[in-house]
């Protein structure tokens, strides 16, 4: 018997799912232990040149009401109508695999509960880190650890832009246009550039690791639009790379602190050398010390690879995978405000500030230095105001 699945959305990721499935159909079937085929592709647009004309539908009910379809790959993006479609599929016992981080970050608790109630699965490996296996390793391979910190580069577009700015002296706008052309950026690049995409991903990781839903609205998020080439160059001379870092850690009082911010990463930290569209995630646990996951964090086939792996998992698992779950959170009191961020800080101040700090570097753009002591977020902002700082960026510790 052949297992039938449907693909919702035929954009970059959805079309990649179809392409990769038919390219590797034989080995995918071997991994799944059964014959498989795509029965429907849902999209409101027409694709007259597609060789899969017989599979396209514009009506979601064709998929929902077809009992032969037991698994669904959701690659539409956005919260609605994806949420309604995914919830309806789960309530019919159809497992869903998604690449949609906004959906998981906003509605993951509800969809996980729906999957549990209907004895199927809601999988989302593709929603964080593109091709990188990170969701399943967190709740399976690393399940014996007490994980207290996760930090990394979770947005390929901004890492690509920062790399092009630094290596090729490319302007921010040109690098962004190239990222869009290559299919890395979200439809609205604001989500990448201003850190919202990375925020959604650290929310998903935080929810999975710490067991309660962490909502994007509770996470301090700052993107790369204010990162100046002068700071990229000065940070390099001071022994650091500037990266958009998404991190979460458990504090001594038991609360967690997720943040998304450009940060200075010491050159000796392996994350500093992660360039282009690549993502990297460092996981810290009491058994493993630290483990890094690295790979292509965006793009058509890398993301399709993770979606299809989840479809295979869905076909293989006839019951709900309980380890991949978290509870709803009715309040956000377990998420600490950003002032709990305590670290060393990079400052760039006007060159005539007469700053006397060991290791400071001065050029025509100002004087740059890293504080000897750790400061809270609030103390760093106050110091920046006092010094009339041109830049104030935390250092990843």
Which positions are catalytic? 201
Alpha-carbon distance values, 197 to 47, 63, 156, 295 (Å): 28, 29, 10, 17
Task: Rank residues 186 and 231 by Cβ distance to ligand HSE and give the closer one.
Answer: 186
Residue corresponding to tokens 């839903």: 213
Task: Rank residues 120 and 191 by Cβ distance to ligand HSE and give the closer one.
Answer: 191
- In sequence order, what are the residues at sequence separation of 6 or more whose Cβ sits closer than 8 angstroms to the Cβ of residue 124? 97, 98, 99, 100, 101, 104, 108, 135, 204, 310
* Binding residues for ligand HSE restricted to 285-314, rule: CB under 6 A: 297-298
Among residues 74, 197, 218, 231, which is the contact residue for ligand HSE, using CB under 6 A?
A: 197
14 binds ligand HSE (CB under 6 A): no
What is the per-residue binding string for ligand HSE in 101-130, x denoting contact by CB under 6 A?
-----------------------------x
Among residues 70, 155, 247, 368, which is the contact residue for ligand HSE, using CB under 6 A?
A: 155
Task: Rank residues 104 and 120 by Cβ distance to ligand HSE and give the closer one.
Answer: 104
207 binds ligand HSE (CB under 6 A): no
Structure tokens, 354: 């007469």
345 binds ligand HSE (CB under 6 A): no
For the bound state, the minimum distance from the C-beta of residue 317 to ligand HSE, rounded and expressed in Å, comes to 24
The whole-angstrom distance between residue 41's C-alpha and the CA centroid of its chain comes to 25
- In sequence order, what are the residues at sequence separation of 6 or more whose Cβ sits closer than 8 angstroms to the Cβ of residue 203? 105, 214, 215, 216, 219, 258
Contact assessment for residue 327 and residue 211, using Cβ atoms and an 8 Å cutoff: yes
Query: Which window, 30-38, 185-193, 361-369, 383-391, contacts ligand HSE (CB under 6 A)?
Result: 185-193
Among residues 86, 185, 242, 360, which is the contact residue for ligand HSE, using CB under 6 A?
A: 185
Asked if residue 81 has a cis previous peptide bond (ω within 30° of 0), the answer is yes
156 binds ligand HSE (CB under 6 A): yes
For the bound state, the minimum distance from the C-beta of residue 218 to ligand HSE, rounded and expressed in Å, comes to 21
> Of all residues in this chain, which one has the CB nearest to ligand HSE in the complex?
157
Contact assessment for residue 225 and residue 193, using Cβ atoms and an 8 Å cutoff: yes
- In sequence order, what are the residues at sequence separation of 6 or more whose Cβ sits closer than 8 angstroms to the Cβ of residue 227? 162, 242, 262
Write out the residues near ligand HSE by the rule CB under 6 A.
Answer: 130, 155-157, 184-186, 192, 197, 297-298
């Amino acid at each position: 018997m052949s297992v039938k699945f449907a693909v919702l959305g035929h954009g970059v990721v959805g079309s990649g799912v179809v392409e990769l499935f038919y390219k590797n159909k034989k080995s995918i079937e071997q991994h799944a232990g059964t014959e498989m085929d795509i029965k429907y592709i849902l999209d409101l647009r027409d694709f007259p040149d597609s060789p899969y004309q017989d599979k396209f539908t514009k009506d979601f009910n064709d998929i929902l009401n077809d009992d032969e379809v037991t698994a669904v790959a959701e690659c539409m993006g956005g919260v609605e109508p994806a949420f309604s479609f995914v919830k309806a599929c789960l309530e019919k016992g159809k497992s869903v695999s998604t690449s949609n981080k906004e959906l998981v970050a906003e509605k993951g608790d509800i969809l996980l509960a729906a999957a549990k109630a209907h004895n199927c699965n809601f999988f989302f490996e593709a929603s964080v880190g593109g091709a990188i296996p990170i969701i399943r390793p967190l709740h399976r391979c690393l399940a014996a650890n007490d994980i207290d910190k996760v930090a990394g580069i979770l947005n390929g577009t901004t890492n690509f832009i920062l790399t092009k700015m630094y290596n090729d002296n490319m302007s921010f706008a040109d690098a962004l246009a190239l990222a869009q052309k290559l299919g890395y950026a979200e439809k609205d690049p604001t989500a990448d550039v201003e850190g919202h995409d990375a925020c959604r991903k650290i929310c998903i990781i935080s929810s999975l690791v710490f067991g309660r839903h962490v909502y994007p609205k509770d996470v301090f998020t700052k993107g790369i639009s204010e990162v100046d080439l002068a700071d990229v160059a000065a940070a390099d001379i001071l022994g650091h790379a500037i990266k958009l870092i998404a991190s979460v850690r458990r504090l001594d009082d038991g609360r967690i602190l997720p943040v998304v911010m450009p940060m200075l990463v010491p050159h000796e930290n392996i994350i500093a050398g992660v360039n282009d569209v690549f993502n990297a995630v460092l996981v810290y646990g009491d058994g493993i010390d630290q483990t890094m996951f690295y790979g292509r964090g965006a793009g058509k086939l890398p993301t399709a690879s993770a979606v299809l792996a989840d479809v295979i998992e869905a076909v293989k698992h006839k019951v709900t995978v309980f380890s991949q779950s978290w509870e709803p959170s009715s309040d956000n009191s377990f998420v600490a405000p950003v002032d709990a961020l305590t670290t060393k800080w990079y400052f760039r101040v006007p060159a005539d500030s007469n700053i006397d700090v060991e290791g400071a570097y001065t050029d025509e753009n100002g004087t740059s230095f890293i504080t000897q002591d750790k400061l809270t977020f609030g103390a760093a902002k106050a110091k920046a105001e006092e010094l009339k700082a041109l830049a104030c960026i935390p250092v990843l510790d």
